[in-house]
Amino acid sequence: MKYAVIDIDGVLNYYPDTFVNFYNDYQKTNSKTTQPTIYKTMSEIKNNTSYNEYNRLKTLYRKSDYKHDAKVRDDAVSLFTFLHDHGYLIYIVTSRELFKYNQLEKTILWLQKNNLKYDYLYCSQKKDYTIFEKFKHVDLVIEDSLDNLEKIKRINGEALYFNIINSENELLESEEDIYRVNTLREVEWILNKKEGEKTND
């Protein structure tokens, strides 16, 4: 049996775009100015919003349909099917605070609604330690946070690591042996190629 660790936000959905859209729509509805500034990235929002206001809006976002009814990323179901068919257990490890704002139930319902069949769901702010403590070693990790992925790689050792590129991390440079991809279709394609190489050996 092989073990895959997969993030939710930014991997199975289109975060941070979901938050940027929420923020812009909220500003259009609630701004005191007639022409609120429209932002394209989360970094722009952080740089132009006070710490308290940013956190207030993040809390509203966590309770909103923008988060809990977000569009599932293209090819997510296909990737999960591929992983199950190739002997992987799927561990979803998210930094969501699942026991606040009813996020656990909403997250499970979102996964079910989008036909994302997984084996275990964990919440953790320190994913590297969670992986070490719970699983000792995993074979595959898919993350949008390059920082998280590099920490996991240091403690987990040899495995397949995929970083989903988005507007927040596209200019960052990764360590060696981390695949940087734009889509889950690319992940599946690389894994399929790896499986073919094993068969030929």
* 32, pLDDT greater than 80: no
> What whole-number distance in Å separates Cα of residue 68 and Cα of residue 112?
12
**Mean pLDDT value across the chain:** 91
What is the pLDDT at residue 76? 97
What is the pLDDT at residue 48? 92
3-state class of 189 per DSSP? helix
Tell me the pLDDT band of 1, cut-offs 50, 70 and 90.
confident
3-state class of 111 per DSSP? helix
Mean pLDDT of the region 79-91: 96
What is the pLDDT at residue 111? 97
pTM for the model: 0.92
* 126, pLDDT greater than 70: yes
CATH 3.40.50.1000 fits 2-14+70-200, yes or no: yes
What is the pLDDT at residue 200? 59
How remote is the C-alpha of 147 from its chain's centroid? 13
* 135, pLDDT greater than 90: no
Residue located via tokens 């996020």: 103
What is the pLDDT at residue 190? 95
Tell me the pLDDT band of 132, cut-offs 50, 70 and 90.
confident
| Tens of pLDDT, residues 63-83 | 988 899 999 999 999 999 999
Long-range contacts of 82-87 (CB under 8 A, 24+ apart): 82/188, 82/191, 82/192, 83/4, 83/140, 83/191, 84/117, 86/2, 86/191, 86/195, 87/1, 87/2
Give the Cα-Cα-Cα angle 22, 104, 127 (nearest 5 degrees): 90
What is the pLDDT at residue 156? 94
Q: Where are the domains of the chain?
A: 2-14+70-200, 17-68
* 201, pLDDT greater than 60: no
- Please give the radius of gyration of the chain, using alpha carbons only, rounded to the nearest integer: 18
